[in-house]
Amino acid sequence: MDAVSQRVLEYMTEVEEAAEDVLTTKQQIVDLDTKRNRNREALNALRHEMSDSEKVKVCFGNMFIKFPKLKTKEMIQKDQEQLDKEINDLRKALKAKVNCLHELQGKPELRGYNLSPLSTDEIKAINSLIKR
């Protein structure tokens, strides 16, 4: 194989690996978001449960275990916080990976892709300025 063919093959491999990395990260975000939605449903079920019992059945792997309601709620909320953190970290990493892929492909960097939403404090400040 001549040098040009070798370089083209290396380039295509590099682009393919970067694209695969982007797709893998996206799938991880989807999977974690699905788990987060299940946790949200579980928290809602705990809030609306009418039984007087202080224990609820919780599924751990293949078995159900009776667990104190308050402790269950705390565990799910901690899991939610951890999932939120992981999803945010993956989304930040995804932006860098997409920019790297675009750079490898010779495309310009995405404009507006690095924007972040306003915080609650910033929204309140804007609303107070608008109301004046």
pTM score: 0.75
Taking alpha carbons only, the member of 25, 49, 30 closest to residue 98 is: 25
Tell me what percent of the chain is helix, strand and coil, each rounded to the nearest 5: 70, 10, 20
User: Residue 113: is its pLDDT beyond 70?
Assistant: no
* pLDDT tens, position by position, 46-86: 888 766 678 888 888 899 998 888 899 999 999 999 999 99
% of the chain residues with pLDDT over 90: 48
Domains of the chain: 3-110 (1.10.287.370)
Distance separating alpha carbons of residues 70 and 46, to the nearest angstrom: 9
